[in-house]
Amino acid sequence: MHDVDMTRALLLSLQDWRSSHAPRQPRVSRVLLQVGRFTCVEPEQLRSTWQAACTGSWLAGAELAIEEVALLGRCLPCGATYSPQAEQGYRSPCCGHPLEEILQGRELRILSVDYLLPDADSEADPTPDLHARPADAAGAASAGHGAGSDTPGPARAGAALLTAPASSTLRR
């Protein structure tokens, strides 16, 4: 059920983003999602719910690519950085102290959306939009019209957290 909720949040974020391009409607070919191992989201289940949810929608045929992020913690007493393991109660392997600081592994964000943006005059003749990439690991993006390159090809809108309101640049 968790994966269904995550898929719903992803679709709502993408719908908000799509609305920001009105009256033009982007044609999405691929969505790259970053999923931390400590989010309790199963990538294969997420792909399955994505496929079911997109069938017959404006996202039909769009690929959901998932980049998994390993869990990484820091032991506060000894300063060691380690990969916490459930079998060890997520304790530090050097001193046995409980996990207190998670450095990575809780990510759940849209890293990019590959799409074509049709001309305002014609939905039948898509014009490649500008290509933009995420600006930092925190989820900001420099995507948008006129930002970066005028190289033809599919556009890529940058990173977005699934819980924040969408914008035309998917900046969250």
Q: How many CB atoms lie within 10 A of CB 11?
A: 18
Put simply, whether the predicted model's pTM sits higher than 0.85 gets the answer: no
Q: Name the DSSP letter for residue 68.
A: E
The pLDDT of residue 112 is 95
Is residue 13 packed enough to be buried (19+ CB in 10 Å), middle (13-18) or exposed (0-12)? buried
Report helix, strand or coil for 168: coil
Residue 21 reports pLDDT greater than 60: yes
Residue 160 reports pLDDT greater than 90: no
Record: fold of 2-69+107-161: hypothetical protein PF0899 fold (3.30.2320)
**In angstroms, rounded to a whole number, what is the distance separating the alpha carbons of residues 95 and 21?**
53
Amino acid type, 139: G
- Residue 55's pLDDT band, with cuts at 50, 70 and 90, is very high
Which helix (H) or strand (E) covers residue 80, if one does?
A: none
Residue-wise pLDDT tens digits, 116-156: 988 766 544 444 443 333 333 233 232 333 233 333 345 55
